[in-house]
Amino acid sequence: MKKRIYSALIIPFIVLSFSLSCFGAQPPVPKKKQTILNLYITAQQTYAKWQVNPDKIKILDVRTPGEYIFVGHAPMAVNIPLKFLNKSVNLLTMKISMTANENFIEEVRKKFKKTDTIFVMCRSGARSAASVNLMAAAGFKNVYNIIDGFEGGTINIPGSYKNGKRLVNGWKNSGAPWTYALDRSRVYRH
């Protein structure tokens, strides 16, 4: 009798564990990349979905115009920056100062409908999360955060010349197309 009870308890646990490992359960989304809509996607998944339905899937790049132009971008991504780069650097914290784009939602409304499915990307997923939250507050419902962004995550190999470089996942490292070429209809102009 005890063996049956034990089996009845352990078998579902084994099945659940196997299912999670086989079907690629994703780790939790870091807090700074979480959104109020709870809609998340990776760069690689975004490109796959866009390929299937390029007329229905919209991609919004919220990085600064400089990042979009000089670091590269997805060729189908529309650039509307969430923030602009200031000319100053805080020498105590070594943080770059950025100013909010006061026209962000107004510009988004010009390019997208509230019913569009929009995948939002930044460098690594934090600014895009903030953008998704602003868009949700403005009535957009199908807005996903691309959690690994355009450049992805950094490598942590102390002593290596690759240490700290953004070479893990992200649009640029996923095999998805990217370019430096500019399309007037997609580049932010203010």
Residue 59 near residue 118 (C-beta atoms within 8 A)? yes
Cα distance between residue 142 and residue 59, in whole Å: 12
Band (pLDDT 50/70/90 cuts) for residue 4 is low
For 114-145, the pLDDT digits (tens) are 999 999 999 999 999 999 999 999 999 999 99
- Which of 10-14, 109-113, 177-181 has the weakest average pLDDT? 10-14
How is domain 26-173 classified at the CATH fold level? Oxidized Rhodanese; domain 1 (3.40.250)
Q: What does R_g of the chain's alpha carbons equal in angstroms?
A: 20
Q: What is the pLDDT of residue 26?
A: 58
Q: Answer yes or no: is pLDDT of 59 > 50.
A: yes
Domain ranges of the chain: 26-173
For 93-104, the pLDDT digits (tens) are 888 889 999 999
Q: Answer yes or no: is pLDDT of 6 > 80.
A: no
Per residue, the 3-state secondary structure of 28-53, as one string, reads CCCHHHCCCCCCEECHHHHHHHHHHC
Q: What percent of the chain has pLDDT over 70?
A: 86
For 152-166, the pLDDT digits (tens) are 999 899 999 999 999
Average pLDDT, the chain: 88
Band (pLDDT 50/70/90 cuts) for residue 92 is confident
Residue 187 near residue 172 (C-beta atoms within 8 A)? no
Q: Give mean pLDDT, residues 52-62.
A: 97
